[in-house]
Amino acid sequence: MGIFVDQVGYPAHGRKLAVCNCACNFQIIRLSDRKCVFDGVATKKGFDPSAGEETWEIDFSDLTEEGGFYILSGKGETSPVFSIDSKVYASLQKDLLKALYFQRCGCALTKEYAGAYTHEACHTSPAILYEDYAAHTENPQTFDMTGGWHDAGDFGRYTTPGAVAVGHLLYAYELFPESFRNSLNIPESGNGMPDVLNECLYELRWLMKMQFPDGSVSHKLTAYCHADFIMPEEDHDPFLIYPVSSMAAADFAAVMALASRVYAPFLPDFAKEALEKAKKSFDWLLENPYIGFHNPEGSNTGEYDDDCDMDERMWAAAELLRSDHDSIPAYREELQKYVDSDINKTDFGWTDVSGFALLSVLTDPAHTAGDKIETKLRQSLFAETERLLAVMEESGFSLAMKPEDFCWGSNMVVCNRSMLFILAALVSKGEQKEQYTQAALEQLHYLLGRNALNVSYVTGHGEHAFKNPHNRPTFADGIELPMPGWVSGGPFKTPCDPKACELIPAGTPPMKCYVDEVESYSTNEITIYWNSPAVFMTAYFETL
């Protein structure tokens, strides 16, 4: 028997559900004195095809006492420990955001800010254009490209994922600023600007270096091949400025336009520069068609290929519509073109950024886009959230995921769907708002351990938190536990790395296709854009 709970915990007020895989009576036991504070009977939920087993719900919503607890079944099994608290996700949110500091490239991470997870400055040598590298040019052009965040378990830096991660974070701050009052203990702390903006600024200043004078933007900055599992300062392969893509230019334009209004009260000169760079890239987009990207033969760093740039252009138009008041009619016309198309409009991932346009328009207090665009995007929002609510009803874990949704990085999908529910809550009222808020929270419960594997997919948070991320520094630093706050990619229905293929038997249900092994890049890597939507989620719940 298994009893699956959110191993971080539950807000003091609201719905509290655990899941078990057989019928039972249960008691909620207070950790401090081992006394029962609540009891009941699990209710049959049904067969969960993603988990491959029957499920029952344990409902203890009426328990509002704060503290530490665990569930004891009538058969003697116990759940992991969890908390009930009005601010139960405060520490989690801080660690999710602080994890990005540990991805900083080009600077030393010192003990004062990094604790045990220190390393020397890395990747400080000038980068060269890929074209010069490929042509073996004797005296190639070199550029200072220091800064930014390592994208994932590798040392590459990529425009589109970086823009998406910053987009999640800037919107989290713009919508829920009260959730970002505490210091992260990073070098910029105490400078008068919230630390979420300090951390994003480190990435934004690097992104600016990726723009060429004509407004086009390099797709990525990486070595030709991934480094071995070494510390970042030990990686001395030359870094290459790869060719441009239209996706990179559009995401760059969008996030710079967003940054221009978020940073205006704190850094007006930077905000002005960001807007000018956004406009330059948008102008370049208007003059250029889709330009894709594929790795040259032999290069194995992240490709982030995408066969459509309409969603990226849509996001750019939406952000510039809000931020550049000099050209509203032109941006509105451009945005209308994409809104009227049949492209998806509800995702927040790096492949499909359309949800950011939705978020921009529907949270705009000035309603700059106008009723026609707003109405159409609201219809898209609620059509998708109603579909996802129906998916949740079929899930034994109240998860808005079908078996086929467990793709590479499935936890990103979980987080992004939670973000969509949060957006629906922000533009709803009364019972509908509460329904969407609860739906968003159920996705977080899954991430933090209420899943068929009884795993918390955030390092350092939960009794059974995963411990072996596919991440070069956490493997090479000689420290037993990884830094806290990293989100794992999670279960992948068709795992493709050798370690996962070795350990996951054929026919395993999708929710169980996961191994906590450092070698498993297809189920257990970390990335900046899997953390960033989790920051958005927890920031919202901390405001309730």
214 is catalytic: no
Q: Give percent helix, percent strand, percent coil of the chain, each to the nearest 5.
A: 40, 15, 45
Distance CA(183)–CA(119), nearest Å, equals 22
Average pLDDT value for residue range 519-539: 98
Q: Delineate the domains of the chain, giving CATH numbers in brackets.
A: 1-88 (2.60.40.10), 90-104+121-452+525-542 (1.50.10.10)
Residue 123 CA, distance from chain mean position: 25
pTM over 0.85: yes
Set 470, 497, 517, 542: catalytic member: 470
Average pLDDT value for residue range 259-282: 98
Q: What are the distances in angstroms from CA 17 to CA 80, 217, 388, 534?
A: 14, 47, 19, 20
CB 88 within 8 A of CB 10: yes
The residues, ordered by sequence, that sit 6+ positions from 78 with a Cβ below 8 Å of its Cβ are 3, 29, 70, 71, 72
At residue 1 the predicted structure's pLDDT band, cuts being 50, 70 and 90, is: confident
At residue 167 the predicted structure's pLDDT band, cuts being 50, 70 and 90, is: very high
Q: Interhelix angle for 268-287 vs 246-262, to 10°? A: 150
Q: What are the distances in angstroms from CA 401 to CA 151, 432, 476?
A: 26, 21, 35
Distance CA(319)–CA(285), nearest Å, equals 14
Distance CA(402)–CA(57), nearest Å, equals 19
Q: What is the CA radius of gyration of the chain?
A: 23
| pLDDT number for residue 313 | 98
Q: What are the distances in angstroms from CA 255 to CA 128, 169, 258, 359?
A: 25, 11, 5, 13
Judged against a pLDDT cut of 90, whether residue 539 lies above it is answered with yes
Distance CA(425)–CA(432), nearest Å, equals 7
Distance CA(155)–CA(168), nearest Å, equals 21
Query: Left if phi > 0, otherwise alpha if psi is -120 to 50, otherwise beta: which for 65?
Result: beta
Can you count the helices (H) and strands (E) in the chain? 17, 14
3-state secondary structure of 43: strand
470 is catalytic: yes
At residue 344 the predicted structure's pLDDT band, cuts being 50, 70 and 90, is: very high
Query: What type of residue sits at position 95?
Result: D
Distance CA(70)–CA(80), nearest Å, equals 6
- Residue-wise pLDDT for 396-447, tens only, equals 999 999 999 999 999 999 999 999 999 999 999 999 999 999 999 999 999 9
Residue 470 pairs with which residues in a beta bridge?
Answer: 525
Q: What are the distances in angstroms from CA 67 to CA 60, 90, 169, 450?
A: 14, 15, 30, 19
- Residue-wise pLDDT for 479-513, tens only, equals 999 999 999 999 999 999 999 999 999 999 999 99
At residue 358 the predicted structure's pLDDT band, cuts being 50, 70 and 90, is: very high
Set 95, 154, 311, 497: catalytic member: 154
| pLDDT number for residue 394 | 96
Token output for 428: 């709803």
Helix (H) or strand (E) run with residue 465 in it: none
Q: DSSP readout, 290-317?
A: -----PPTT--S-----S--HHHHHHHH
The one-character DSSP state at 177 is: G
Distance CA(420)–CA(425), nearest Å, equals 9
- Residue-wise pLDDT for 122-132, tens only, equals 999 999 999 99
- Residue-wise pLDDT for 199-217, tens only, equals 999 999 999 999 999 999 9
Set 195, 309, 497, 516: catalytic member: 516
| pLDDT number for residue 426 | 98
The residues, ordered by sequence, that sit 6+ positions from 413 with a Cβ below 8 Å of its Cβ are 349, 401, 405, 407
Set 312, 517, 525, 542: catalytic member: 525
